[in-house]
Amino acid sequence: MSKRPVLERLRRYFLSHEELEASDLRAEATQAGADTLGTCAPRSRVTLRGTVTSVTSDADHGWLEAELSDGSGVVRLVWMGRSRIECLIPGRKLEVRGRLAQDGRDLVIYNPEFELIT
């Protein structure tokens, strides 16, 4: 009998709720064949899966912004010329595709394609 599953369960028992959620998000992305932000380089085309953590609208620029966490990092999603997307709310799970850019220290995908994950 292997001790590995027992040790893994014990390790997970002592993790915080946030660490468990991040671990689960990374596992879901990997199982679905998506990239993880921790392994992506700027300027590369990526497919990411994660949870929307915030949504804001910039009325001055006419942009809609959302943050997506995939368990290994956070990427800012920016839709130019949009003030809102009805189905885009915090807590929703998305799969996004686009080119990863870097704005200072932030990772950004401009006008990403996306699908809701149910």
Pairing of strands 45-58, 93-103: antiparallel
pLDDT category at 8 given cuts 50, 70, 90 is low
In DSSP terms, which residues pair with 103 in a beta bridge?
106
pTM value is 0.77
User: How does pLDDT run across 68-111, given as a tens digit for each residue?
Assistant: 999 888 999 999 988 889 899 999 999 999 999 999 989 999 99
The fourth-level CATH superfamily of domain 4-117 is Nucleic acid-binding proteins (2.40.50.140)
Residue 3 sits at φ, ψ, to 5 deg, of -85, -15
